Amino acid sequence: MRTFLQLRDLIATQHNIRRLFALQAVVALSIAAPIALAGNRIIVDDLGFKIEVKDNVRRVVSLVPTNSEMVCLLDCKRLKGGTRYDQFPVEVKKRVQAKQIEIIGGGFDANLEKIVQLRPDLILTNGPTQQRFAVPLKNMGYSVVSLWPRDMDGLKRDFLLLGELLGQEKKAQSVIDDMQRRFSLIEAKVKNKPRKQVYLQMWTDPLITVGKSSFPDWLVAAAGGINVFGDLPFDSGQVGLESIIQRNPEVLIFLAAQEPFVKTLTKRPGWSSIRGVRESHVCFIDEPDIRRSIEFLDGLAKIQDCLFRDKRVNQLTPTETK
Amino acid sequence: MNRQRWSCLLIAFTLFISFFLALSIGPVRISLFDMSATDKVILFNLRLPRILSAFFVGGGLALAGAIFQGLFRNPIADSYLLGVSSGASLGAAAAIVFRLASPLANFAAVSCFAFIGSLVALALVFYFGHHDGGFSIFRLLLSGLGVGLFLSSLVAIFMLMAGEELKALIFFFLGGFSSSSWDTTWVSLACIPLAVVAACYFAPELNVLLLGEETAESSGIRTGRIQLLYAILAALLTSISVSVAGLIGFIGLIVPHMIRLVFGADHRTLFPLTFFCGGIFLILCDTAARTVIAPAELPVGVVTSLLGVPIFLYLIRKESGDYNW
C-alpha cells in the first residue's frame, strides 16, 4: 500500500511538472527572441507552410544539392552554405573550393551550429526528411523554406518563387521559358509514338524501383514511357523478380553504378524471360540524370534516347558484354 | 567510505568539466568570454539543450539498465529489456505513417507519440505478465520479450508503408542528438529527475529483495509492489530517453557494470552513481560525435561503444569489485 501512496504522490507532483514546462517555455522564448526576423513577405512552401521571409535576402544556406543549384543559377554570391554533395553548376564547386561557400554537412547530417553560424536570411530544405533540422531552426526564428518539387510544374513554381525571394524574377522567368521551350521539343518527339513499358532499377540487392509520384516516375512518363511499377504507392520500394517478369517491361534502365549486376544479367535465372532483356533493350543512366533538378532536361533527353533507341549512347546490352 | 566520498567529489568535478568542455567545443569555435549574437544562439539554443538532453538520456538509460539488471538478477539485462523501445519505435512509426504527428510539423510531436507507444507496450507487458493477482518477475520478462518482438514486426510493416518518410523514421531509430532543441529537451528535463529520485528512495528495499523474496517478505517488504514499481520506473526512464533521442545502445548495459565493478552492488550508491556517470559518459560521447569529423557527425551509438568498451574491459581485468547481485 505504501508503494501506491508514493505513486499517488508522484502523480500529484504533475502540476509541478506543468509549472516546469511553463518556466522552460519562457526561458526558451527569451533566448530565441533576439533573432526573430522582421520578415515582410509571406510565402507558402512545398509542404504547405506559411513562411515569413525577409524582403532583401542576402545570405542563403541550402541543405540539398538541387536547391544549391537553383540559388546558384540565380545569384551564386548569395549562397553562403551548401552540402558536401553540391556539384552543379560548376560555379558552386569553384566557390566551395575558394571557401566562399561553407559546407554545412550533408542532407542527412546537416550541422545546425554551422548553419546558424552563417547567419542565413533564408534556409532551403527538401521534404519530410529534413524537417528534423527545419523544425529547430524555425523555432529559433529562421526562415526555413521547403522546396520539394514532384514534377516540372513543381520545379517551375519553386524556381520562380526563389527568383522572387532573391529579387531575380526576370532571370528566373527566362530560365523557365528556355526550359519550357526545350521541354516542348522533347515532348513533341514522342507525341504520336506508343508508350514504352519501362522498369527503372535503383538498387540491386534487394531489387528497388521507383513508384508513383517519384520524380523518376514523372521523368519516364515525360520521356514517353510508362513506369511498370507506377502503381507502387511509395516513392521507391522493394519488388520481387517475379513481379518484374510478370509486368514484362520493354525497356530496362539501370543506374551506371549497377554495371557489374547488368553484365551478368542474362546468367541470372529468370531475367532472360523479360522482353527488354531478350531484345537487349537495356540502358544505363547516371544518378544526376534523375535528380529533381532544374537542369533535368539532359537526363530526360537521355531517357528518351534510351526508350526509342534514337542513339546508342549509354546502352550496354548484356549480349555484347558476354 | 572514504573512497566513496572521494569518488563523489571526483564525479561532481568530472560532471562540471565535461559540461564545460561540451559547451565550449564544437564544429563552430566559440570563445565563452567574447560572444557575438550568433555565438549566443549556437550556445544557448543548440549546445545547451543538446548537452542537457545527453546528460539526462545517458543517465536515464544507464539507471534503467541498472534497475533491470538488479530486478531480474541478470547481468545482460539492459534498458531495452521490456520491449519498451519497440513500443516507442512503433509509436513514432505510427505517428509518421498515419500522419498523426507529421515530422513535417513538429518533431517533438513524434517524440510524444513515441512516448505513448512505449506506455502502450508497457501496459501490454504488464497485462500479460500479470498472473493470479500478482506479478512474477520472470513472467514479466518473458511477456516483455514477446511483446517487444511482436511490436518490432509491426514497426517493420510500417516502415514498408512509410515511403519518403521512411528516411525520417530511420533517423529516429538511429538515435542521437543532432537535431536536439529545447522542444525535445524539456521532456527529459522534467520527467527523468523524478524517476531518479524515486529509484534511489526505494533502493534499500531493493537491496533486501535481492537477498531472496522470502527473506524480504519476512522483513515486511511487499516484494511484488517493489518489483512492479521498479519495472515501471525503469520502463518510464527508457521510454522518455527513447522518445527524446531514439535508440542509443550500450549505455544501459555497460555503465551499471562499470559502477558495480568499482563501487560494489549496493543499490543505494549504485543508482545515483550510475545515473551521474551515465550522463557524463553520454555528454562526452556526444561531444566526440559532433566534433571528431565535423561538420559531419558520427552516430553517437558508435562512439559509446568505441569509447566505453575498452574502459569496461580494462575494469573487468583490473578491478576485484564485489560482483554480487
CA atoms within 13 A on the CB side of B182: 22
Interface of A with B in 182-241 (CB under 8 A): 211, 233-235, 237-238
Q: Which amino acid is at A26?
A: V
**Any domain includes A275:** yes
The pLDDT confidence band at residue A107, using thresholds 50, 70 and 90, is confident
Distance from CA of B230 to the nearest CA of A (A): 11
The cell 535465372 sits on which residue? A269
Cell numbers given for B4:
566513496
CATH number of the domain within which A127 lies: 3.40.50.1980
How far is Cα A314 from Cα B283, in angstroms, rounded to an integer? Answer: 51
> Could you give all domains of chain B from N- to C-terminal order, each with its CATH number?
2-318 (1.10.3470.10)
| Largest Cα–Cα separation, chain A | 83
- What are φ and ψ of residue A15, in 5° steps? -65, -25
Domain housing A211: 191-308
Contact criterion met (CB < 8 Å) for B198 and A47 = no
Among candidate residues A153, A178, A203, the one where a domain is terminated: A178
Q: Is B134 on the interface with A (CB under 8 A)?
A: no
What is the Cα–Cα distance from A87 to B314, expressed in whole angstroms? Answer: 47
B154 to chain A, any CB pair closer than 8 A? The answer is no
Give dist(CA B258, CA A98) in Å, integer. 49
Last residue of a domain, one of A150, A178, A206: A178
Residue of A nearest to B196 (CA): A10
Answer whether residue A250 is part of any domain.
yes
In a domain, A23, yes or no: no
Q: What confidence score (pLDDT) does residue B320 get?
A: 63
Over residues A240-270, the pLDDT tens digits come to 888 899 999 999 999 988 888 888 888 888 8
Q: Which residues of B touch A234 (CB under 8 A)?
A: 161-164, 166
A117 and A47 in a single domain? The answer is yes
Beta carbons of B182 and A24 less than 8 Å apart:
yes
d(CA A272, CA B249): 45
Say if B31 is an interface residue toward chain A (CB within 8 Å).
no
Residue B150 forms contact with A (CB below 8 Å): no
Pairs across A and B, CB distance < 8 A:
146
How close A38 gets to chain B, by Cα (Å)? 16
Which has the higher per-residue pLDDT, B213 or A82?
A82
In this prediction, residues A297-313 reach a mean pLDDT of 79
B219 interfacial to chain A (CB closer than 8 Å)? no
Q: Which of A146, A89, A149 is nearest to A298 (CA)?
A: A89
The residues facing A225 across adjacent strands are A196
Residues A109, A138: one domain?
A: yes
Where is the domain boundary, A178, A207, A238?
A: A178
Cα–Cα distance, B115 to B128 (Å, whole number) = 20
The ipTM value here is: 0.72
C-alpha cell read off for A16: 509541478
**Distance from the Cα of residue A241 to its chain's centroid:** 27
Count of CB atoms within 10 A of residue A8's CB?
9
Beta carbons of B194 and A32 less than 8 Å apart? no
Angle separating helix axes A2-12 and B182-201, nearest 10 degrees: 160
Helix extents (H) in B162-250 = 166-174, 182-201, 203-209, 213-218, 223-245
Strand duo A208-210 + A196-203: pairing: antiparallel
Query: Does residue B163 belong to the interface with chain A, where contact is any CB pair within 8 Å?
Result: yes
Cell of B308: 566505453
Average confidence score pLDDT of chain A: 81
CA angle A61, A65, A70 (to 5 degrees): 75
| pLDDT tens digit at each of 325 positions of chain B | 577 788 888 889 999 999 989 988 887 877 777 778 888 888 888 889 899 999 999 999 999 999 988 887 777 777 777 788 888 888 878 877 776 655 444 556 677 788 888 888 888 888 888 777 666 777 888 888 899 899 989 988 887 776 666 666 776 677 788 777 787 787 778 888 888 999 889 888 888 887 777 777 777 777 778 888 888 888 888 888 887 888 887 888 889 988 888 888 788 888 999 999 999 999 999 999 888 877 777 888 888 888 888 888 887 787 665 555 5
- Is there a single domain that holds both residue A218 and residue A275? yes
Closest Cβ opposite residue B27 in set A114, A129, A133 = A114
Say if A48 falls within a structural domain.
Answer: yes
Q: Do B186 and A127 touch (CB under 8 A)?
A: no
Cβ of A32 within 8 Å of Cβ of B27? The answer is: no
What residues contact residue A260 under an 8 Å CB cut-off, 6+ apart?
none
Q: Which of A35, A127, A135 shows the shortest C-beta gap to B164?
A: A127
Distance CA A38, CA B160 (A): 42
For an interface test with A, which of B47, B157, B159, B178 has the most A Cβ atoms less than 10 Å from its Cβ? B178
Q: Say if A245 falls within a structural domain.
A: yes
Helix, strand, coil: what percent of chain A each, to 5?
A: 50, 15, 35
Q: Which three three-digit cell numbers place residue A96? A: 566551395
pLDDT value at residue A5: 41
Shortest Cα–Cα distance, A277 to chain B (Å): 29
Residue A154 in contact with partner chain B when CB distance is under 8 A: no
User: Cβ neighbours of residue A187 under 8 Å, at least 6 residues apart?
Assistant: A222
CA–CA separation, A179 and A222 (whole Å): 14
- A39/A156 same-domain check: yes
- Give the distance from residue B122's alpha carbon to the nearest chain A alpha carbon, in angstroms: 17
Residue A178 burial by Cβ neighbours in a 10 Å radius (0-12, 13-18, 19+): exposed
Coil, helix or strand at residue B174: helix
Residues A270-285 pLDDT 10s: 888 898 888 888 999 9
pLDDT(A14) > 70 = no
Per-residue confidence (pLDDT) for residue B135, from 0 to 100 = 67
A284 to chain B, any CB pair closer than 8 A? The answer is no
Q: What is the pLDDT of residue B162?
A: 67
Tell whether A174 and A38 lie within a shared domain. yes
- Which distant-in-sequence residues (6+ apart) come within 8 Å of B295 by Cβ? A103, A104, A105, A111, A114, B27
Whole-number Å distance between alpha carbons of B161 and A285: 28
Closest approach of B322 to chain A, Cα-based (Å): 30
Q: Rounded CA gap, A106 and A125, in Å?
A: 11
Chain B hits for A292, CB-CB cut-off 8 Å, are: none
Does a structural domain hold residue A40?
yes
State how many domains chain A has.
Answer: 2
Looking at the domain assignment, is residue A299 inside a domain? yes
pTM listed for this prediction: 0.76
Q: Do B38 and A106 touch (CB under 8 A)?
A: no
Q: Which amino acid is at A134?
A: A
Claim to verify: residue A173 and residue A231 sit in the same structural domain = no
| CB of A295 closer than 8 Å to CB of A176 | no
Could A104 and B181 be called an inter-chain contact, meaning their C-beta atoms sit closer than 8 Å? no
Q: Is residue A12 part of a domain?
A: no
Q: Which residues pair with A296 in a beta bridge?
A: none
Q: Mind telling me how many Å the CA of B71 is from chain A's nearest CA?
A: 16
Nearest to B86 by CA among B119, B111, B121: B121
State whether A214 and A253 are in the same domain.
yes
Same domain, A280 and A302: yes
> Does residue A165 share a domain with residue A198?
no
Mean pLDDT, to the nearest integer, of A295-317? 74
C-alpha cell at A304: 528518351
CB atoms within 10 A of CB A86: 23
Please name which of B43, B61, B13 lies closest in space to residue B241, comparing C-alpha atoms. Answer: B61
Q: Name the minimum distance, in Å, from the CA of B12 to any CA of chain A.
A: 24
Residue A227 and residue A135 share a domain: no
Q: Which residue in chain A is spatially nearest to B184 when comparing CA positions? A: A136
pLDDT at A3: 43
